[in-house]
Structure 1
Amino acid sequence: MLDPPGVLPQAAWRLDASPRIGPDEVRLRVERLNLDAASFRQLAGQHGGDGDAVRADVLAIIADRGKMQNPVTGSGGMLIGVVEEAGPASPLGLRPGDRVATLVSLTLTPLVVTDGLAGWDGLSEQVPARGHAILCGRAPAATLPADLPPELALAVFDVCGAPALTDRVTRGHAAARAATAAARAGGGEPSGGPVTVAVFGGAGKSGSLALVAARRAGARTAAVVVSAAERDALVRAGLADRVAIADARDPVAVSAAVTDALGGPATVTVVCVDVPGCEHGAVLSTADGGTVIFFSMATSFAAAALGAEGLAADVTMLIGNGYVPGHAGFALELVRETPALRALLAQRVAGH
């Protein structure tokens, strides 16, 4: 039963997380939660980095709502679990004993925690946990790969929509340029040079995956990071053509950094920064006719829309919804074929 009745699970305040499943549902034995970056940052900030207080808050949210949905950010995360029971009409193809990562948000996943999160210090996004969760028939999950540590696989699955959509949008711009060139008398090279992609938060999980996806799609790339340590890590990994330090919340400074790095505004700007206030900088950093992809749960639709209007910016703005067909396999492929990416992600997971 949902509260209020008549809404879909993500919009509900409270979900029925009882263990009994319907014909098309699957029950998982929970092993680990992965809180999304914006939610964890907000909780840690609210409690001044007090891990015990963060843990207590997460437990209270789950107990109150029957799911993990931060009431401030509205976001949740995802989880690893083992299939306990699959309904006879489930379309997910899962069997008891399968170890899986969910590919849908915890904000719409009925969840019960039974161990008080005793194995978690409240200081990291990844949360050892015991309990159960319920997947409906439209809530996909991926079997954990045997060649990656589960913590790393969970981190990749958590953001796998970002590289897949970056790839799609980058290739779309490249195809449009090629078609325009072919339509001209005598053909010739696409005008304007290669597609360029700027990634705000390029040293993070979603940002580093987006950089590799954009380069793989033929783009020239620039990463925007907030510190010299992040810049140095990306330079060592060689995941971007250029790396700039700028505060993504400062529209003038970040747009100048992108222009300097790429020789002009970006064709595509991807926002992977988990703090509010990056909307105007992203719009200002993007060329007319370009695309801004917002992958941060801290994004304000009003700020993005009204900011673009106020800047008279002819840009398409997309909200990355976390799902693109084949996104999990695509992200794993990027990690497997790019050792430096795998090492960077593993380092971030270990740091948490």
Structure 2
Amino acid sequence: MTAANPSTTVASDPTGLHRVVEPAGVLPQAALRLDTRRELWTDEVRIRVERLNLDAASFRQLERKHAGDGDAIRAEVLDIVRTRGKMQNPETGSGGMLVGTVEEVGESSPLGLRVGDRVTTLVSLTLTPLVIEDDLERWDGRSEQVPADGYAILFGRSIAARIPDDLPAELSLSVMDVCGAPALTSRVVREYVDRADAAGTPRPVVAVIGGAGKSGSLSLAAAAEAGAARTIGVVPHRAEADLLEAAGLADAVALADARDPVALSRAVGEAGGPADVTVVCVDVPGCEGGAILSTADRGTVIFFSMATSFSAAALGAEGLAADVTMLVGNGYVPGHADYAMSLLRGHDGVRGLFERRL
């Protein structure tokens, strides 16, 4: 099917500006409310939604706010979507992503999708027009993955990936939700490795804070494949340490609360640090100082958590006189989806940790 432009007065824009209701002049991610009409502009795609995946920081905030009351969590998610025309947690500013089936394709859509394709979106729900039509009646409010029926709109510059036939949709969604982390980790570590090999110096030590989680386990696998001399997985509890050790994804597993800068730095040091590259994959605030303190001079800290505070990171590095480069992972690196899926297929330890979460 193809679509006609639903408006003769508003031209479509590949970034989705034409869907912004308020305030005028901002991109969809910054908007307070989006236009969710089902009729498509010619460069858009409509997806029949099957499942949402709320990002970890958003879900944890809702869980804390409502003391684990699933009904209250479900009600707030519905209210957010109805009010804003998208899923964007007002507290964390984050959203998640979705799985669904292509329902209609505009005649000038550049995404290469066809009606009937099962896809996962690789852009955030914070900028995706979304309508929920079943009141989330199949969701108990107690997990990040949300069975749902409704529709969503993709723009000309949106990104989506077809779901592999050899993997369950739930598993694919979990991987795609964090696929930017291993791709950027691999890129940064490879740059360190190339410089070290050219200079005849030791290859980098990589520490991943939150190493037993989704983005953390993939980042550990990516760092090892990129040639890291040593990988350190940091986890907060003995149970997670046991899981990570059994998965065999890290050369050393360190126990520390990432919110305690001294304890985190000490644990990384005892495990073979400081790290040349530190990857932050935890979904709680207050981890900036410990990550910086755990990183060697001229090292790099990559923040993949939506709970990261820019001011805390910038001022923390300044206050510690830390000569480190700090990167914010934006969730997109060319080829990131295929790369993450290859890590899942190639590392039994990664797949086991993901399947355990499901």
TM-score (norm 1): 0.95
Query: Which residue of 1 is the match for residue 195 of structure 2?
Result: 176
**Which one of 167, 174, 190 corresponds to residue 186 of structure 2?**
167
Pair 1:13-2:22 in alignment: no
> After superposition, where does 1:1-352 map in structure 2 within 5 Å?
1-2=19-20, 3-179=22-198, 181=199, 190-191=200-201, 193-219=202-228, 220-262=230-272, 264-349=273-358
Inter-partner Cα distance in structure 1 for 2:233 and 2:259: 15
Inter-partner Cα distance in structure 1 for 2:328 and 2:350: 24
Deviations 1:48-86 (A, max 9, x none): 000000000000000000000000000000000100111
Give the counterpart letter for 1:307 in structure 2. G
RMSD of the alignment, in Å? 0.7
Q: What percent identity do the matched residue pairs reach?
A: 69
| Structure 2: tracts of 5 or more residues without a match | 1-18
TM superposition outliers: structure 1 runs of 4+ over 4 Å: none
| Structure 1: tracts of 5 or more residues without a match | 182-189
TM-score (norm 2): 0.94
Deviations 1:273-321 (A, max 9, x none): 0000000000000011110000000000000000000001010000000
Measure how far apart 1:40 and its partner are.
Answer: 0.1
Deviations 1:92-112 (A, max 9, x none): 000000000000000000000
Give the counterpart letter for 1:348 in structure 2. R
SS at the partner of 2:356? helix
Inter-partner Cα distance in structure 2 for 1:89 and 1:168: 33
Inter-partner Cα distance in structure 2 for 1:248 and 1:276: 9
SS at the partner of 2:156? coil
Measure how far apart 1:168 and its partner are.
Answer: 0.2
Give the counterpart letter for 1:15 in structure 2. L
Asked if 1 retains the 8 angstrom alpha-carbon contact of 2:29 and 2:127, the reply is yes
Query: Which residue of 1 is the match for residue 9 of structure 2?
Result: none
Aligned length: 338
Measure how far apart 1:344 and its partner are.
Answer: 1.2
Measure how far apart 1:178 and its partner are.
Answer: 2.4
Measure how far apart 1:154 and its partner are.
Answer: 0.1
